[in-house]
Structure 1
């Protein structure tokens, strides 16, 4: 979608003539633009004429978080299958120790929110991949079937996961009931907390972007944070002051849970991510 098309749809939706439409960085699929309004304010637009980014689902997730939690996310101004217009959030810094502590407080608060089951009322996204969320009573069964094996099948069908690795994952999945405890209750998670999805302003987290929400064991969120070193020691120390970190998380379960994002990245990028999947399986004897 060219800038001119973005301008036309955005102006029709907003009822105002834009001063300018400028490309921004970001967006693995589709394009990202800054919209400048006559009053000097700014908005952000994601455009996807191919419909591959499922922008309506992203809009749903942002609205869900704004309506059901205190996690700071951009407000959705307008959404369609081809265009998502959001609040522009200022960012002026990198992740510091004080930012890590603030993030720990906000995510601990998010993880205190619960629902009737693991999953969600509708399917969501991880990147642009559909993320199935059928409400499930068992977290272990949900993670096994709708995260680990589901993504393994998607990557296998796309030709990005070798048949032997797929079979190893199937055998490993059979052992999950003995490796993963059932949490006390489902917890709402952001689902994609890496540094590119965290905006910082004045030494605080200004917004979390690009959610991949559902109700889960919050350890899967913490595991993802360690995978890409989004936050470090100060985050986990502050988080542990607010919520229990169960024994065995760092030693074993985070590697189990990180098979899911590693499979997502294997689907998109292959290479070293596939190697990391295979190394994890080898570590556990498969």
Structure 2
């Protein structure tokens, strides 16, 4: 592994040898390492079982977020576009810092400002990933159509193939998907979304500045992103208060929030199995009893 990293470092201009290499816990998909050379410190991801564009779309997402000037992301120095079974490497800036008393307030404002970077349509120009699962993409003019066709349908099909949709769950999920327009009837603008904003995908940088990591970007309803932040927690009242001072949520947010959380819970059902079935079923019963 270090040889692949060394080759990548040399190709980006750091020819000094690796002085320290340390595995970092927390990643489910990639091997994550702290790498120190004579020249610099780096955060490195390595994987051998990913599609060619896996690290490229992550780098592109970080670049789009950086371009908003709303919130900090790590600098990307290098990424591979591997052929089948080739080892892929992504090299980024090493971020270090600790949370300060206003870090989560800064985070809320930064995410809200990022959400005010608008696209012309909903979706994205190429396929992305949620964890290791593919997320098909295309640009679509209508948000409800996009959410149905490019978020829920692929997860439905995957769950059916994996045996995660017994008849009752399958019937209810079909009904919810068919009736989306009756609930998602608020005005939506295509905000730039991080796309995977659970509590582990932000960190504190120098002086407590919040930093977003591991994006899966697309343009969608900003309420969709906020709904996901509430699935697994990790965000304080200060975050939500600061967010809504910058950008308000739709009046029907509490009514549609579980519909948006459904996508991420279906993805976790497909990734991790029946542990998430109860959460999926509770949402389905709420809407189609």
> Does the alignment reach a TM-score above 0.5?
yes
Equivalent residue for 1:275? 278
Provide the alpha-carbon RMSD of the alignment.
2.1
How far apart in 1 are the matches of 2:68 and 2:41?
26
Equivalent residue for 2:227? 223
Q: SS of 1:265's equivalent?
A: helix
Question: How big is each residue's C-alpha offset from its partner over 1:2-55, in whole Å with a ceiling of 9 and x where there is no partner?
Answer: 33433344334444122222211132122111110203x301111111225922
Aligned length: 281
How far apart in 2 are the matches of 1:170 and 1:109?
35
**Alignment pair present for 1:25 and 2:29:** no
Distance 1:69 1:118, change over 3 A: farther
84-93 or 3-12, which deviates more:
3-12
How far apart in 2 are the matches of 1:16 and 1:178?
59
Equivalent residue for 1:75? 75
**Alignment pair present for 1:284 and 2:284:** no
255-264 or 173-182, which deviates more:
173-182
Equivalent residue for 2:95? 89
Deviation, structure 1 residue 147 = 0.9
Deviation, structure 1 residue 161 = 3.6
For the 8 Å contact 1:139–1:216, the answer to whether it is kept is yes
- Unaligned stretches of 5+ in structure 2? 82-87
For the 8 Å contact 2:106–2:210, the answer to whether it is kept is no
For the 8 Å contact 1:22–1:33, the answer to whether it is kept is yes
How far apart in 1 are the matches of 2:272 and 2:151?
18
For the 8 Å contact 1:138–1:182, the answer to whether it is kept is no
How far apart in 1 are the matches of 2:252 and 2:67?
34
TM-score by length of structure 2 reads: 0.89
TM-score by length of structure 1 reads: 0.90
Deviation, structure 1 residue 138 = 0.8
Equivalent residue for 2:145? 141
